[in-house]
Structure 1
Amino acid sequence: MHYPRILLALAALSLASPVVAEDFQGSTHALKYDDPPIEYSKQTPQDRIAKLQAQIVSGEVKLKWDDEYGWLPALLDELKIPKSSQMLVFSQTSLQRREINPRNPRAIFYNDDVYVGYIPHAPMMEISAVDPKLGGIFYSLDQVPQDKPSFTRNQDCIQCHVSPRSLGIPGHFVRSLRTDGGGEIIAGTDTSEVTHCTPLADRWGGWYVTGQSGAQTHLGNLVGLSAFDRHSGDPSYRGNVPDLREIIDTSKYLTPHSDIVALMVLEHQVHMHNYITRLNYETRTMTETYGHIRYLKNQVNAFLRYLLFTEETPLSGPVSGDPQYVADFTAPGPRDSKGRSLRDLDLQTRTFKYPCSFLIYSEAFDQIPMVMRDHLLQRLYDILTGKDEDPEFSKITANDRQAVLEILRETKPNLPAYWQPLAAKQ
């Protein structure tokens, strides 16, 4: 029997790439997430979908059915997920794999903590959310009109969503691989998860990709072995595609795009959320077992390296996508008195303008147990002020350290008092 593999067991890559230094120093084995103190399956989720379901049952929220797209438009509006975040994946990596092919790809939409998967004419939607303490929670929603639609939690999804790719916790991951002309995965072409550390040349096999990357090549838009063969001789083949109108019937989707910038943000975000959840789990387990967190030094260093983009693969030229997605993503801020935000995009030499993850504002980060959260904030402060001279962070320039420090001082609530400059304390 097949079970939902939820939307982010996504697509795939062709060139094997080694595990890079930003992993948890080998600590990617599956944790005992159903044992105390985690008890993943026994806990009542507090994620955004669980809260929405309660609002639907109480009558506080009523979703409007759409005759063309079903629950999709109302769900995106209610969850404040921008339609511009649409990305299209044609590899057959879902429970509803028979509904997916290069002519009928699966659309994925997302915000900071919810992912929505939609396939035209498929019987259900696949949704997942990030619970602040538990990590990924997976749901399905039948595409049938009803007064009070019901999200069904799919515990079986974690059969695929607890793996080294998700850092051994119930989480999400992005993949890249080759497919045949029908979207079937070609065995042996899958590789490790795609993150901001992955070179663009190795990303987006099995995906459609719209936008401009200049001379920087990628594996998007390649359908079947003949397309990959042609790409080998002409790496620019099927690159720099403005929209998908000449490739698929885009009238079945909310936009004609599968945005390159949305993909890049996604690839950072899902792995960052996995890091946050893994560190939450590890801290709770260690403090219950040993009463301290001293054995988590490597995990903390790996977490901070990823948070601060120290191993991000640089861009060799500008990247541009749908301006609407950029506007939608950057709008929430928050911004400091100079107008700067950790959501500001660079897209010239790197993804973000300021090298610190916007997920430092997330509820999941704030729910890391206090003993670890306080330790992270102390280490982060020491790195940004230059007190911590660990060579692992030496690539962060003085200007970037100062900018991130100033932005966080003004925009991150409840920072310890030592974060504030001396004048502000007097």
Structure 2
Amino acid sequence: MTGAVFRSLVAAALLVTLPLALAVAVSAQRGRLFTQSRDHPAIQYSTHKTTDRVALLNASLDAGSTSLAFNPESGYLRSVLQALRVPIESQSLVYSQTSSQGAFISRRNPRALFFNDAIAVGWVRGAPQLELAALDPEMGVIFYTLEQRSADRPRFKRDDSCLECHQTPDTLGVPGYFVMSVFSVPAASDKYSYATGEATDHRSPLTDRWGGWYVTGHSPEPHLGNLPIAATPAAVKRASRELDSLGGEFDTKGYPSTQSDIAALMVLEHQTHMTNLLTRMGWESRIAASAPRSGATPQARPRPGTGAPIDPVKDTAQELVDYMLFVDEAPFPGRVRGSPGFAQKFAEAGPVDSKGRSLRQISLERRLMRYPCSYMIYSDAFDALPALAKDAVYERLWQLLSGREKGGVYARLSLADRRDVVEILKETKKGVPGYFTTPAQ
């Protein structure tokens, strides 16, 4: 991968670079950025031993205890998805040519993205590589490629060149994911430009999402998916169209599914920014914990209006918890309808309390999740947070779930929501502090 990394595939970051094209993101929703080096002594991203799931699969392949099967139609795709437990139902399709493999990508040959909580896999029919991004519990997102050639012992190759675009303001300054809604740049524009757009997540209105993506399912308001990129945003919004299947859009031979499910896309958008927040939280707290030894601390900045220094760990904890509880979610005016296959697979992947409730239950009735607390609280990345960070996160969580702070945006957390979330966490999340009790009011 050479050049500027692809900026539109999302989140999964999967991807790779544009030889002569840079998609420029314009996002008004970026949080505070991590400003230290990724190779700070407390981080050592480039050299630290990784324990992400692709690294573990590589070890199994090297030991001969695991093998991958090559298929003439899709290469190693199906075998990799099975080995990494990535559901086919998560398939999301993007047709913007924002990749070093862009010559293979079009509306008739979109890139397919598959994901779970810790892995994203990108496949382009006929292209020479599979692209992967894996969430390491401490390091954040690690990028890999796998050659799509039959081999006796295939191996995933780490590729840090992806960080050229996947460690940017759109990822909060840490190696991470983002989903882009993309539009073409007019022909008269700079010859090195390909597209413009913005990173989207659960804070983005549906009307601003999915430019350059196929979307199957129903939205209660127009969105930017399923239409040519070569149009102005206003024109695209006026011409929004819905699809139940992609079978009539292009030849789907080799694709594991004919869906690019709207619910999967919405979950992916939530997860990308949540992942970046967790990584930034971990990195800043590790640097803070190392300060007595290294003499280095996370770069502070004055708080607007007071001049008082901001505590990076507490500040990040507040931003993370606000996002975790969906207090900033853009509401939608009616019901979104996605594929039951994805919602079922997604729900099955997490714990359930004694009342049958789960943080992985998708609602789509004016909001994404049935219970407003991110399922990423169960992730290895959350569990790997240093005590300093975890304490700050739980304190902020309880401040909101207890109702001690419930004005402004926090008013959307109803008493019923807060009670449900606390009860679910107490039963299903190991390590929840003892002071978490059912909110009385």
The answer for the alignment partner of 2:128 in structure 1 is 123
Question: In the alignment, does 2:203 pair up with 1:197?
Answer: yes
- TM-score (ref. length: structure 2): 0.86
Question: In the alignment, does 2:389 pair up with 1:372?
Answer: yes
The answer for the alignment partner of 2:434 in structure 1 is 417
**1:68-107 to 2 correspondence within 5 Å?**
68-107=73-112
* Distance in structure 2 (CA, Å) of the matches to 1:356 and 1:421: 15
- TM-score (ref. length: structure 1): 0.89
1:99·1:122 contact (CA, 8 Å) conserved in 2?
yes
- In structure 1, the gaps of 5 or more residues are none
The answer for the alignment partner of 1:349 in structure 2 is 366
* Distance in structure 1 (CA, Å) of the matches to 2:171 and 2:37: 14
Aligned partner of 1:64: which letter? Answer: A
More displaced 10-residue stretch of structure 1: 282-291 or 40-49: 282-291
| SS at structure 1 position matched to 2:143 | strand
Shift, 1:389, TM fit: 5.0
Cα deviation digits, residues 150-202 of structure 1 (max 9, x gap)? 000001111111100000001111111113899x9995862431110000100
* Distance in structure 1 (CA, Å) of the matches to 2:153 and 2:4: 22
- In structure 2, the gaps of 5 or more residues are 16-22, 299-309
* Distance in structure 2 (CA, Å) of the matches to 1:231 and 1:64: 41
Moved over 6 A (4+): 14-17, 290-294
Question: In the alignment, does 2:311 pair up with 1:295?
Answer: yes
| SS at structure 2 position matched to 1:177 | strand
* Distance in structure 2 (CA, Å) of the matches to 1:4 and 1:254: 29
* Distance in structure 2 (CA, Å) of the matches to 1:147 and 1:56: 10
Shift, 1:396, TM fit: 1.0
Question: In the alignment, does 2:356 pair up with 1:336?
Answer: no
The answer for the alignment partner of 1:5 in structure 2 is 5
Structure-2 change in CA distance of 1:18 and 1:179 (3 Å): closer
The answer for the alignment partner of 1:401 in structure 2 is 418
**1:25-424 to 2 correspondence within 5 Å?**
27-179=32-184, 187=193, 190-214=196-220, 216-225=221-230, 231-232=236-237, 235=238, 237-289=239-291, 295-296=311-312, 297-389=314-406, 391-419=408-436
More displaced 10-residue stretch of structure 1: 71-80 or 380-389: 380-389
* Distance in structure 1 (CA, Å) of the matches to 2:392 and 2:138: 18
* Distance in structure 1 (CA, Å) of the matches to 2:183 and 2:369: 28
- Report which of the two has the higher share of strand: 2
Shift, 1:289, TM fit: 2.6
Structure-2 change in CA distance of 1:29 and 1:383 (3 Å): closer
More displaced 10-residue stretch of structure 1: 319-328 or 160-169: 319-328
1:180·1:186 contact (CA, 8 Å) conserved in 2?
no
Shift, 1:416, TM fit: 2.2
Cα deviation digits, residues 380-404 of structure 1 (max 9, x gap)? 1232122345755332111110010
Shift, 1:68, TM fit: 1.4
* Distance in structure 1 (CA, Å) of the matches to 2:437 and 2:427: 9
* Distance in structure 1 (CA, Å) of the matches to 2:108 and 2:51: 37
Structure-2 change in CA distance of 1:224 and 1:93 (3 Å): closer
Shift, 1:264, TM fit: 0.2
Aligned partner of 1:5: which letter? Answer: V
* Distance in structure 2 (CA, Å) of the matches to 1:336 and 1:34: 41
What RMSD in Å do the two structures reach over aligned CA positions? 2.8
* Distance in structure 1 (CA, Å) of the matches to 2:356 and 2:57: 33
* Distance in structure 2 (CA, Å) of the matches to 1:357 and 1:186: 39
| SS at structure 2 position matched to 1:220 | coil
| SS at structure 2 position matched to 1:171 | coil
Structure-2 change in CA distance of 1:186 and 1:323 (3 Å): farther
* Distance in structure 2 (CA, Å) of the matches to 1:272 and 1:175: 15
| SS at structure 2 position matched to 1:304 | helix
* Distance in structure 2 (CA, Å) of the matches to 1:349 and 1:389: 20
| SS at structure 2 position matched to 1:283 | helix
Aligned partner of 1:413: which letter? Answer: K
1:63·1:75 contact (CA, 8 Å) conserved in 2?
yes
The answer for the alignment partner of 2:303 in structure 1 is none
| SS at structure 2 position matched to 1:76 | helix
Aligned partner of 1:295: which letter? Answer: D
* Distance in structure 2 (CA, Å) of the matches to 1:226 and 1:374: 48
Aligned pairs, how many? 411
2:282·2:386 contact (CA, 8 Å) conserved in 1?
yes
Cα deviation digits, residues 107-142 of structure 1 (max 9, x gap)? 000000100000001111101100000001000000
2:170·2:199 contact (CA, 8 Å) conserved in 1?
yes
More displaced 10-residue stretch of structure 1: 171-180 or 198-207: 171-180
* Distance in structure 2 (CA, Å) of the matches to 1:154 and 1:5: 11
* Distance in structure 1 (CA, Å) of the matches to 2:371 and 2:125: 38
2:202·2:270 contact (CA, 8 Å) conserved in 1?
yes
* Distance in structure 2 (CA, Å) of the matches to 1:238 and 1:389: 37
1:46·1:131 contact (CA, 8 Å) conserved in 2?
yes
Aligned partner of 1:19: which letter? Answer: A
1:141·1:152 contact (CA, 8 Å) conserved in 2?
yes
